[in-house]
Amino acid sequence: MSAAQDFGARLLDWFDRHGRHDLPWQQEISPYRVWVSEIMLQQTQVVTVIPYYQRFMGRFPDVAALARAPIDEVLHHWSGLGYYARARNLHRAARQVVAQHQGHFPDTPEGLEALPGIGRSTAAAILSIACGQRRAILDGNVKRVLARHRGVEGWPGTTAVSRRLWALAEALTPSARVADYTQAIMDLGATVCTRSRPACGGCPVQSDCVAHATGRQSLLPTPRPRREQPRRSTVMLIIRGPEGILLEQRPPTGLWGGLWGFPEVSSVQEADQWCLRHLGTEVDEEHPLQPFVHVFTHFRLHIAPLRLWVKDPAASVMEAPGRVWYKPEARSELGLAAPVARLLDHIAHEDGEINGSHGELRLPG
């Protein structure tokens, strides 16, 4: 038995006894179900994804249902998972599968990678898990397992290190039970060969692991070179008018693309002018809320919420496209940016206590 075959055999034996076999996307396996799970699991842990996945599948059970749905509803079901470009790409890809492939997913890497949001590893996961094809994957968990086991130094984000890890992934992927192997190596990284404090005693490939032998588990894979996180700041205008709280839909790309949020300005002093220019009315009352920080992967956003009460916005503004006057019953129809949902919940709770409404959004006005 070759070294690659031995690696795969040990991993599969461990998977049969200790792997995860009851995840929602492991039931009724199909390219669609695997695809949605793989996209959700990018940058997000399994325990977080499971309830989102179940709700998403309950509403969009197949690719046709997802393709038919309005993007606002898709984004609503994604709210809280972050990295919203994933949801927009998911929706675009579903429409492409229906329009160009009669609702059937392509069964080649090239065909899958032509769809929005699907890269080499995601395409391979779909083909191996749902179609049984021998395809190597290289997600974050697999990179960690291979870098430690073979002692691969250097940040995996560089071209040279990525090539080496892909070569290892290709060499170690077996021809038989490829779907189980794919799940097994992901499970090993997620549950045993974890980022911090790996449980090496329960690892099936510990005996020839370079990182374990040299005590470098905490050093491999080599972390991304540290850069100081930039800071951005914004003032969110929580504007209460006669019809509710004003929300605007953000541009389809960029931060929270396509989601609904509060109007934003760069300073509190701009709030009055914003209301005059966009609503045709003056601020009747204002009240600042506690600022907070929302952390993204590459920067920190300092948010200063400012509650404003206005009277009689211009009639044209009340029905302007890309704007809605939020009411509690509309919540299920809108995809909200996470800080916006957090602030709306805070205001509903705060005003519910004042008005005795137990959470109904009734603001002073």
Which residues form the catalytic set? Answer: 38
21-56 b/e (C-beta count within 10 Å ≥ 16 → b): eebbbbeeebbbbbbbbbbbbbeeebeebeebbeeb
Residue 155 main-chain phi, psi, to 5 deg: -65, 125
Cis peptide before 24 (omega within 30 of 0): no
Q: What are 246's strand-pairing partners? A: 325
With 0-12 CB in 10 A as exposed, 13-18 as middle and 19+ as buried, what is 314? Answer: exposed
| Residue at 333: amino acid letter | E
Q: Which residues contact 323 (CB under 8 A, 6 or more apart)?
A: 246, 247, 248, 249, 317
d(CA 51, CA 71): 20
* 234: enclosing H helix or E strand: strand 231-241
Cβ neighbours of 211 (radius 10 Å):
24
Instruction: Decide if 343 contacts 262 (C-beta within 8 A).
Output: yes
- Other beta carbons within 10 Å of 58: 9
Q: In 206-361, which ranges are continuous DSSP H helix?
A: 210-214, 271-279, 315-318, 338-355
Length of the chain: 365
Q: How far is CA 220 from CA 94, 194, 224, 352, in A?
A: 37, 11, 11, 51
User: Environment class of residue 252 by beta-carbon count within 10 Å: exposed (0-12), middle (13-18) or buried (19+)?
Assistant: exposed
